[in-house]
Amino acid sequence: MPEKTYDIVVVGGGLGGLTAANVLARGGHRVLLAEQHFQLGGLASYFRRGRHIFDVALHGFPIGMKKTLRKYWSHEMSEHIVQVKSVRFDNPQFSLDTTFTKEDFTEILVDRFGLVRETVDSFYNELEGMNYYDDRSMTNRELFDKYFPGRNDVVRLLMEPITYANGSTLDEPAITYGIVFSNFMSKGVYTFLGGTDCMLRLMRQELAGNGVEIRTSCRAGKVTLDKGAVSAVELNGENVGCKAILSNANVVSTVYDMVGEKHFDRGFLDLAASTRLNNSSCQVYMGLRRGESFDHIGDLLFTSTHPVFEPERILSKDVTSRTFSVYYPDIRPEHPDYTIVASMNANYDDWASLSKEAYEEEKARLVRESVGALEKYIPGISGKLDYTEAATPLTFERYTLHRLGASFGTKFEGLDVSMKLPEQIGGLFHAGSVGIIMSGWLGAANYGVIAANQVDKYLSKKA
Ligand SMILES: Cc1cc2nc3c(=O)[nH]c(=O)nc-3n(C[C@H](O)[C@H](O)[C@H](O)COP(=O)(O)OP(=O)(O)OC[C@H]3O[C@@H](n4cnc5c(N)ncnc54)[C@H](O)[C@@H]3O)c2cc1C
């Protein structure tokens, strides 16, 4: 029997795990948080190079994050949520600036795209009425065909940012798009003033204040079961006793690696085996030399040179579509700097199959072409940079252990696997990016709260 036991071990310090740990500790439970990386945050991460601080996944989230931080973290953290000033689209079909709100999109769709206002209103009404328990058979393709048949340009405006944000395609259930898009459309796109490093510092303080024991560089291995229920988990090779485990690791890895097939029933394993992982990402990080600057060009730029919107094309290693996130000195008033992050959706296999030399060459090409593409928006940028670096799906896999470097968890079916886990193994819960709806900063954090409430009920029954 392990010497020290906890009520709950949270495996993984991504936003789902961190939020669950905080809620459980506030509820009076003894919580151990184990994160394999030396830093908390998971995909919601940052890194320092010289005097630059680069944000990995802080491009924008819906206003709902303010309420989530206020309720489950602190008032101070929620005060850091600020709206981004402008979102820009530039592609062969249209170039425009928007606040990314329903009102602004409606005007654009009517005035610039020539749509009938009633059609646009009906589309929004249908989205707003969608919820998780609805019919899931309608796809995004069918939804768009119903309101905007033959209008690839309209679909591009409505869907391309969501494809970038969570890997959605036209074949996904329309409710996943409807829920995520409506969250953004309610009030626009928001960011965290002070950057990801500031948010994670405040989260760590809050967790420690609430009594969470945090172990970084601490990898969870096998789960030990006693009569079908969790009794311990291996952390860096040592067994640690616990009444429950909440895994924030990839849901498929949780089933197959942490627990093992033999402990699940056939029906559940079929479900787990058919779960598709979402795609991965590439990024190029660019830092400006001290003393250099540029004018405001927007905070988020969805750019593409591809003639039409094709979600599958966005994954290609021959990149035509990039999202540029631009961080001006005011995002970190204490540490003023200009940084730009170009993000591209990507396929893991395109990168994993390269030889070491080809991999380095392709990374260099990614940097070169991304800086080149940015010249259109910031002329002379290549001469102003003092740092560039690229991340690929292999980088995401290395730092988060996500299978295939999945950036946005799983496709829709993964949500069922995640939610049914405690029915299979007593005391084993999961929270983190699954099912598209629960992905992103807001989705992952809110899912952490939902899972924490389930753990709390389980522990109360056990007491
Ligand atoms: C390039 C990119 C840009 C993005 N941009 C945005 C954006 O602008 N807005 C937005 O809302 N979302 C964005 N996202 C998505 C968002 O960051 C994620 O959906 C969210 O952070 C995922 O949180 P999570 O709880 O699922 O945990 P994850 O971030 O997946 O973290 C899981 C954690 O578990 C740890 N772990 C795994 N296995 C183990 C183990 N065995 N033992 C211990 N620890 C383990 C990992 O190291 C990791 O820290 C972006 C993602 C990417 C990749």
**CATH number of domain containing 224:** 3.50.50.60
CATH code, domain carrying 326: 3.90.660
Q: How far is the CA of 42 from the centre of ligand 1 (A)?
A: 4
- Positions in the chain short of pLDDT 50: none
42 Cα nearest atom in ligand 1:
49
User: Exposure pattern of 151-177 as b/e (b: 16+ CB <10 Å)?
Assistant: bebbbbbbbbbbbbbbbbbbebbbbbb
Task: Report the alpha-carbon distance of residue 456 to residue 335 in Å, rounded.
Answer: 40
User: Would residue 207 count as lying in a domain?
Assistant: no
447 Cα nearest atom in ligand 1:
25
Q: How far is the CA of 417 from the centre of ligand 1 (A)?
A: 18
Residues 90, 106, single domain; the answer is: no
Cα–Cα nearest to 220, from 378, 446, 430, 455: 430
Distances (CA, A) of 364 to 198, 359, 368, 372: 30, 9, 6, 12
Q: Provide the domain count of the chain.
A: 3
Distances (CA, A) of 236 to 11, 14, 221, 225, 438: 12, 19, 7, 18, 29
**Enclosing domain of residue 151:** 101-185
Q: How far is the CA of 108 from the centre of ligand 1 (A)?
A: 33
Task: Report the alpha-carbon distance of residue 288 to residue 383 in Å, rounded.
Answer: 9
Please tell me the predicted confidence (pLDDT) of residue 349. Answer: 96
287 close to ligand 1 (CB < 6 Angstrom): no
Residues 131, 181, single domain; the answer is: yes
Residues 304, 419, single domain; the answer is: no
User: Would residue 428 count as lying in a domain?
Assistant: yes
Residues 294, 374, single domain; the answer is: yes
441 close to ligand 1 (CB < 6 Angstrom): yes
Last residue of a domain, one of 164, 185, 206: 185
Residue with tokens 């074949």: 171
64 close to ligand 1 (CB < 6 Angstrom): no
219 close to ligand 1 (CB < 6 Angstrom): yes
Please tell me the predicted confidence (pLDDT) of residue 137. Answer: 87
User: Would residue 305 count as lying in a domain?
Assistant: yes
Q: How far is the CA of 444 from the centre of ligand 1 (A)?
A: 8
Question: What are the start-end ranges of the H helices in 90-236?
Answer: 102-107, 117-128, 140-147, 152-166, 174-187, 195-209
Task: Report the alpha-carbon distance of residue 330 to residue 193 in Å, rounded.
Answer: 8
Q: Token pair for residue 3? A: 């010497």
Residue with tokens 């961190």: 18
407 Cα nearest atom in ligand 1:
53
Among 248, 251, 397, 408, residue to substitute to test ligand 1 (most atoms within 8 Å of Cβ) = 248
407 close to ligand 1 (CB < 6 Angstrom): yes
Please tell me the predicted confidence (pLDDT) of residue 314. Answer: 87
436 close to ligand 1 (CB < 6 Angstrom): no
Q: How far is the CA of 117 from the centre of ligand 1 (A)?
A: 38
388 close to ligand 1 (CB < 6 Angstrom): no
Cα–Cα nearest to 172, from 133, 141, 147, 128: 141
Residues 403, 293, single domain; the answer is: yes
Q: Token pair for residue 53? A: 């601080």
**Among protein residues, the one whose CA lies closest to atom 49 of ligand 1:** 42
Please tell me the predicted confidence (pLDDT) of residue 132. Answer: 75
343 close to ligand 1 (CB < 6 Angstrom): yes
Residues 114, 169, single domain; the answer is: yes
Residues 389, 457, single domain; the answer is: no
Helix, coil or strand: residue 363:
helix
Q: How far is the CA of 418 from the centre of ligand 1 (A)?
A: 16
The angle, 0 to 180 degrees and rounded to 10, between the axes of the packed helices 152-166 and 140-147 is 150
18 close to ligand 1 (CB < 6 Angstrom): no
Residues 401, 424, single domain; the answer is: no
184 close to ligand 1 (CB < 6 Angstrom): no
Helix, coil or strand: residue 386:
strand
Residues 323, 389, single domain; the answer is: yes
Please tell me the predicted confidence (pLDDT) of residue 3. Answer: 58
Q: How far is the CA of 323 from the centre of ligand 1 (A)?
A: 18
Q: How far is the CA of 116 from the centre of ligand 1 (A)?
A: 40
41 Cα nearest atom in ligand 1:
49
Distances (CA, A) of 358 to 346, 352, 355, 362, 400: 17, 11, 5, 6, 24
Q: How far is the CA of 443 from the centre of ligand 1 (A)?
A: 11
Residues 272, 382, single domain; the answer is: no
Residues 31, 71, single domain; the answer is: no
Q: What is the pLDDT of residues 386-406, one digit of tens each?
A: 999 999 999 999 999 999 999
286 close to ligand 1 (CB < 6 Angstrom): no
